[in-house]
Structure 1
Amino acid sequence: MPDFQTLSIAIILISLVITASFVILIPDWRLALYALAVQYVVVATLISHLVPLPLAIVRVISGGLALMILYFTARQKLENLRRAYNEAQDDEARDVIARRASRQLFVVGFPFRLFSLALVVVGIIGIVSSMSFLGLTQDVLFGAVWLMMAGILVSVLSRDVLRLGLGILIFTSGFCILETATEESLLLYGLLNISDLLIALVIAHLGALPTTNSLERRGDER
């Protein structure tokens, strides 16, 4: 029967896989943000095995602030689309705005994303179980590599700016685990947490760029 520590590590790793999978597979932006919020808590739990608990909680705080920025940006973007739809002066413009609101967030469909996700998981399990890296334990190495690869996968498959931002944040969480386990530099750890806020602000700015006028012009041209 596995002991408590082994069971807790297994729960942490499974939670990392599930939360990142939500961001890759589920189009709904609210569920993606909720999944990433849970992921920050799980990452902080894993990091707490490497640094004191108060320092690990900093990861939750920075992640929560970053997700709040992206949440309000997504809400504002949705409100702008609704306002543009209501203010559109013809059916063609409304059709363009409706297609914009319902467009696919990913460049490929669900089956290919699921296949890519499974391939990445199997590949990482094979790599982690067959090699060592800088003396890291297998659970830490798997968590770090998985989040970095999942973040890259989200970024590559996304065509939406906000979803791209979620992929970058997932990647930085994986890199934060790897850095904390190898360097143990509090300065770099703090900079990584600050970088999450800067990334969220940049993504929020890009996601909030006005698109109403261009959509209306496209509707008029059709």
Structure 2
Amino acid sequence: MAGLNDVPAPDRPMGRPRATTHDELEAIGMDLFRRMGYENVSVQQIADAAGVSRRTFFRYFATKSDLPWGDFAQEVDRLRATLTAVPDHVPLMAALRRAVVDFNRVSPESVDQHRARLGLILTEPELIARSLLKFQQWREAVAEFASRRLDMPPSAFLPELVGEIALSAAVAAYREWIPATTSDLPTLIDTAFAAILDLDALEHGAAAVLAHQMTLPVGES
């Protein structure tokens, strides 16, 4: 599209060292996306703002669309570790609920960036397409956990179903949380899993209780 690549890259603040790590480049790129719009920012602009070459950028990210995902492979490994840490005596779906809630906790100072990151991933067409591959890795980690509990191959129907259910619950919570700046992401995810665990109860008053829980400000229960 004409004009998009003509937007000048913001000057690198005087005194800021060149970005030489994955996290630094990610932070600079996310800042540009927030201020200028994802489509209006090029790899060259991110590299210029970071004071590095395009080659250095591509050393850390294969494409621009990978940047909002951060080090996603590391995050998937963290999800696996979180699932493994749940004691075996905890039932499958309760264990998954606990692990996914814990996995989605972020520090208070990281909440705004995490909300911006998910907002991009779930709304930008280029990133939505990329999410098909990225979320597949997430589902596979859950399916592997379910397969161990069910004594089935990860590719079997039931482990894959558990992976799909868990991802759907998380994504539904993300979509609710992104515009609701006073809401709490772990609470929304816990609510999503609570609904899934007893869908029939939603017809008998549980829906109103869960809806109220979702509207409580952060820190209240």
Which has the bigger relative contact order, CA under 8 A and spacing at least 6? Answer: 1
